[in-house]
Amino acid sequence: MAHNVPMQGGGFYSANSGLQYEAMKKALPLIKRAIIQTSAKNLSLISDGFTIVEYGCSDGNNSLEPFVAIMESLESHAYANLIFNDRPENDFSVVAGHITKLQQLLMSKSGADVFLSMVPASFYSSVVKPSSAHFGFSLYCLQHLDRAAAPPQQSHGEFLSDALKQIPFKEQADIDLRNFLTLRATEILPGGSLVLTFTGQAQSGEPNVVGIVSSLRDATAEMVQEGKVSRDAASSFHIPVYSRTAEATKSVLADMGSSWIVREHFDEWVTHPATEEMALRRSRRSLKEEDYVWYAGVAVDWGMAISAGHFQKALQGDGLDQNKVNTIMAEWEEKTKVCFLKSFKEQALRCTTTYLRLERVQL
């Protein structure tokens, strides 16, 4: 089944993507190094114009700083083509507002013409014509799989463990990364660059954002026990994401050696700013209940921006009307906050993140 559930639109995602923002900031030095390298190898072309593609822009809020960094790193150019891509279901009305402001900012700073394009297409498909881009980047998107592979067969109404649900996701994650890199190799010019970030797996075995994942699961199970959500709906609720191990990523990159040179590859923990804020408050005074309530609210909103569409899809698949779905969704969100406060209010909201800087092999 194709993965066609977008992040929450209407600006909700950008307002609740603090962890992704922190991961993006850590990627800026890689982006700057990639642009310097690409400029040196394609100087004659870049002096005329430069084409940049973001694969998976969501609502565009976290796109602004990377594009500013890119333009500031270019020594000279007559014009720039900035291409923003995401799935057709994405909220491009919000993207348009963000990137129009970006265009005005960049033109005032550089004096160059800046042209904008939005491409509604899966980033696991062709996005621009062959050999037309100098640089591409994708930030915190490739853990989202192209297809929601069906979990193993189960009895009617039976819950599957998280481990069992992940089996087909791992296989799909390998397929998707190979496909993504193959497609980008046709679009990015030889000597061009590609910078990627996506969730990884810690070598220590510590799960990513375990407090939110567990709270979402516990809230769902509680509503099943109360008869408010069917076991079939709960069993079909899964978020088609997968965090690759460093070894799995290296294996794919090794197979793509004829197309891509690996210039940088590392994993690093990224922490949500709300966790840092709680640490700051704790250093100044004893934490109060209102601090923990605030933290739970921020953490759950972050989780809802990613997961709510998938839970809603599971409920709709159970034949419920939209009013009933909305009622259940509101209660599910509140129960998730209660679960987080009960068991995870002291836990950091953090995620292992993979960083890659790749250079397109010159023919």
Q: Rounded to 10 degrees, what is the CA torsion of 171, 83, 10, 87? A: -30
Q: With beta carbons less than 8 A apart as the criterion, state whether 302 and 19 touch.
A: yes
* Calpha distance 155→134 (Å, rounded): 51
CA distances from 336 to 270, 291, 306, 343 (A): 23, 17, 14, 11
Indicate if 53 and 153 belong to the same structural domain.
yes
Torsion sign (Cα): 4, 66, 118, 53:
negative
Q: What is the CA radius of gyration of the chain?
A: 21
Torsion sign (Cα): 279, 284, 286, 290:
negative
Indicate if 318 and 259 belong to the same structural domain.
no
* Calpha distance 13→302 (Å, rounded): 8
pLDDT digits over 323-352, tens only? Answer: 999 999 999 999 999 999 999 999 999 999
Indicate if 302 and 262 belong to the same structural domain.
no
Indicate if 249 and 234 belong to the same structural domain.
no
Q: What pLDDT, on the 0 to 100 scale, is given for residue 140?
A: 95
Indicate if 150 and 251 belong to the same structural domain.
yes
* Calpha distance 363→358 (Å, rounded): 15
Domains contained in the chain, number: 2
Indicate if 10 and 151 belong to the same structural domain.
yes
Give the range of the structural domain holding residue 259, as residue numbers without chain letter.
Answer: 1-202+243-272+350-363
CA distances from 29 to 70, 295, 348 (A): 10, 30, 25
**Residue 93, both tokens:** 């009305």
Q: What pLDDT, on the 0 to 100 scale, is given for residue 157?
A: 40
* Calpha distance 127→258 (Å, rounded): 21
Indicate if 43 and 63 belong to the same structural domain.
yes
- What's the whole-number mean pLDDT along residues 116-139? 95
Which of 308, 312, 301 lies closest to 340 in space, CA to CA?
301
Q: What pLDDT, on the 0 to 100 scale, is given for residue 217?
A: 93
Buried b (16+ CB within 10 A) or exposed e, 8-42: bbeebbbebbbbbbbbbeebbebbbbbbebbbebb
Indicate if 221 and 323 belong to the same structural domain.
yes
CA angle 166, 8, 245 (to 5 degrees): 30
Q: With beta carbons less than 8 A apart as the criterion, state whether 159 and 53 touch.
A: no
DSSP 78-124: SEEEEEEEE-TTS-HHHHHHHHHHHHHHHHHHH-SEEEEEEEES-TT
Buried b (16+ CB within 10 A) or exposed e, 204-241: eeeebbebbbbbbbbbbbbbbeeeebbeebbbbbbbbb
Burial of 358: CB neighbours in 10 Å, binned 0-12, 13-18, 19+: buried
Q: With beta carbons less than 8 A apart as the criterion, state whether 300 and 212 touch.
A: yes
Indicate if 151 and 181 belong to the same structural domain.
yes
Indicate if 140 and 285 belong to the same structural domain.
no
Q: With beta carbons less than 8 A apart as the criterion, state whether 208 and 243 touch.
A: yes
pLDDT digits over 273-322, tens only? Answer: 999 999 999 999 999 999 999 999 999 999 999 899 889 989 998 888 89
Q: Coil, strand, or helix at residue 276? A: helix
* Calpha distance 172→158 (Å, rounded): 23
Q: Centre a 10 Å sphere on the Cβ of residue 283 and count the other Cβ atoms it contains.
A: 7
Q: What pLDDT, on the 0 to 100 scale, is given for residue 90?
A: 86
Indicate if 174 and 286 belong to the same structural domain.
no
pLDDT digits over 149-173, tens only? Answer: 655 544 444 444 454 456 678 999 9
* Residues 6+ away with beta carbon under 8 Å from 324: 315
Q: Coil, strand, or helix at residue 23? A: helix
* Calpha distance 149→179 (Å, rounded): 16
Confidence of residue 3 (pLDDT cuts 50, 70, 90): low
Indicate if 110 and 231 belong to the same structural domain.
no
pLDDT digits over 15-74, tens only? Answer: 888 999 999 999 999 999 999 888 766 655 555 678 999 999 988 888 889 988 888 887
